[in-house]
Amino acid sequence: MAQTAKVTSIEAIDAFKTSLIVYKEKAGCFLDDVSDEVVRMRIWLQSDRQLHWKNQARQRTRELAQAEQELLTARLSGMPEAIKARQMAVNKARSALREAEERLARVKQWLVQFEAQVESRARVVAQLRHSLAHDMGKAVAFLEGAAATLSDYAGIAPPASVTTQEQVGKPDTVGPQDSGAGSRISDGEIP
């Protein structure tokens, strides 16, 4: 039987544990960035873009009303050139209002699609983040325990060999039914 245990991979376990911790941190940061970006996009759509296009629609509605009022004044004055210019201003204001309304409708449509498509995938990212923190934390703790156990085991001195006189004085503890059970460990194996 060998005099010492042949434990040679404690450093490999420690190196793997270190790599796992680095991976856990990098992946965690990446998943946090993804989650933050999803939140920023939702806030941008809900607050910034929706509010912007609502305000633009209100402002362009006022501009259209003013352009129509100026067209009416030009018609009452009977000046054909002024009527033509005011009609072009009304058409331009209508087009600008239509654009603002279309963009507002598009933002509302994006919000619906965002919640249906992006939020469902964001939940998967959150689950992955939880799994990464929980399961990888357990794996790191297991590797620390395994390395500590193997290190302790490698440091234990082998039991002193029993002299033949001590063996003669002791009764045989292995019964006939157990005779082959304990003798299957070969040299170099760790029991």
In this prediction, what percent of the chain has a pLDDT beyond 90? 36
10-156 CATH choice from 1.10.287, 1.10.238, 1.10.8, 2.60.120: 1.10.287
Question: How far apart are the C-alpha atoms of 143 and 16, rounded to whole Å?
Answer: 8
Measure the CA–CA gap between 114 and 118, rounded to whole angstroms.
5
Q: Which residue ranges make up each domain of the chain?
A: 10-156
Condensed to tens digits (0 to 9), the pLDDT of residues 57-109 reads 999 999 999 999 998 988 888 888 888 999 999 999 999 999 999 999 999 99
- Residue 157: per-residue pLDDT: 56
The reported pLDDT for the residue numbered 95 is: 95
Report how far residue 81's alpha carbon sits from residue 79's, in angstroms, rounded to the nearest whole number.
6
Per-residue pLDDT tens digits for 10-23: 888 888 889 999 99
